[in-house]
């Protein structure tokens, strides 16, 4: 089978490259040297004293004088800071704040030196004044308290005659045909057992309300006295003060006799009672 030959890259020769670079550098250096020589020759032609040893050639002339005039004083404005001749005083910086004491460096209290012997004041001895004797105040003699006079005991029932002692009724009850008044002889019993006194009056009023008094008994009063035994039975029922009407006295007496019992006494063996009936 026939083969085909491919074209290959021909390498560049290194010797030719080095030679061309060297020639180029040589020509460049020759041109620089030629330029410097030409510049020196032309300058010497233009300035014939260039390069000579004459001190005046190519130097600067200076003249010494005694003093130089100062520039005129510049005007300044009051409000201008840069042109003011009287600069303002800088503010005083605040004093440094002392650092607070730390636990590591506790503040030691200032100890005052002990006083000198001649600075200690010795107090003078002061004699207290003698007390002036005073007369004792006259004490008032205590006055014995006055004992209150006890009230007189209640007047007992009269032992003679037909009238009884003065008594205050302990129960007064108005009814349709008259007014009933009840009084117990023992005032202490009446004050202590007022409920029992009201019970006595209630039972007598119930019996008396059932009676019809005769017309001639209107405006008259009948007084009946009786005794209540321990068991509450009324005994010794008698007309103490007659009214002038036998029918009124009898009906009032029978109203009490019809009661079987008032109930046992709360205290005592017997209780004297007075009943007064005013007919209307």
- Residue 215: DSSP 8-state: G
Name the pLDDT band for 159 (thresholds 50, 70, 90). very low
Residue 163 has pLDDT above 50, yes or no: no
More confident residue, 230 or 11: 230
pLDDT recorded at residue 89: 72
pLDDT tens, residue by residue, 165-190? 456 778 898 988 889 999 998 889 98
- Kindly report the average pLDDT of the chain as a whole number: 76
pLDDT recorded at residue 241: 92
pLDDT tens, residue by residue, 193-204? 999 999 999 999
Residue 25 has pLDDT above 80, yes or no: yes
pLDDT recorded at residue 109: 67
pLDDT recorded at residue 257: 92
Residue 266 has pLDDT above 70, yes or no: yes
pLDDT tens, residue by residue, 71-101? 666 665 666 555 555 666 767 877 877 776 6
R_g (Cα) of the chain, nearest Å: 79
Distance CA 167, CA 240 (A): 14
Mean pLDDT for 33-59 is: 68
Residue 17 has pLDDT above 80, yes or no: no
pLDDT tens, residue by residue, 200-229? 999 999 998 888 888 888 889 999 999 999
How many percent of the chain have pLDDT more than 70?
57
273: closest CA among 242, 234, 241, 246?
234
CB 268 within 8 A of CB 186: yes
The two tokens of residue 207 are 């019996």
pLDDT tens, residue by residue, 101-155? 666 556 666 677 776 766 666 666 667 777 776 765 555 666 665 655 666 655 5
Mean pLDDT for 26-50 is: 78
pLDDT recorded at residue 41: 75
Q: Residue 201: which residues within 8 A CB-CB, separation 6 or more?
A: 171, 173, 180, 182
Distance CA 203, CA 205 (A): 6
Distance CA 138, CA 144 (A): 18
Neighbours of 206 (CB within 10 A): 13
Alpha-carbon separation of residue 153 from 2, 95, 183, 271, 275 (angstroms): 181, 104, 16, 17, 22
């Amino acid at each position: 089978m026939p083969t085909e030959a491919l074209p290959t890259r021909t390498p560049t020769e290194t010797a030719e490259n080095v030679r061309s670079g060297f020639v180029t550098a040589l020509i460049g250096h020759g041109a620089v040297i030629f330029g410097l020589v030409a510049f020196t020759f032309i300058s010497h032609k233009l300035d014939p004293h260039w390069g000579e040893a004459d001190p005046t050639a190519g130097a600067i002339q200076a003249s010494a004088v005694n003093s130089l005039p100062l520039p005129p004083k510049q005007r300044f404005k009051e409000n201008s800071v840069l042109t003011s001749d009287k600069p303002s005083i800088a503010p005083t910086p605040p004093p440094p704040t002392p650092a607070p004491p730390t636990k590591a460096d506790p503040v030691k209290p200032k100890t005052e030196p002990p006083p000198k012997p001649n600075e200690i004041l010795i107090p003078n001895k002061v004699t207290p004044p003698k007390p002036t004797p005073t007369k004792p105040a006259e004490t008032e003699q205590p006055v014995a308290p006055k004992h209150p006079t006890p009230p007189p005991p209640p007047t007992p029932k009269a032992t003679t005659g037909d009238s009884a002692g003065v008594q205050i009724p302990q129960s007064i009850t108005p009814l349709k045909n008259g007014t009933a008044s009840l009084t117990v002889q023992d005032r202490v019993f009446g004050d202590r057992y007022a409920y029992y006194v009201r019970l006595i009056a209630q039972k007598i009023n119930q019996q008396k309300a059932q009676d019809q008094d005769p017309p001639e008994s209107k405006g008259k009063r009948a007084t009946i006295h009786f005794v209540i035994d321990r068991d509450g039975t009324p005994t010794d029922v008698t007309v103490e003060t007659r009214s002038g009407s036998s029918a009124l006295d009898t009906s009032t007496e029978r109203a009490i006799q019809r009661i079987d019992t008032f109930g046992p006494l709360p205290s005592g063996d017997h209780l004297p009672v007075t009943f007064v009936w005013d007919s209307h």
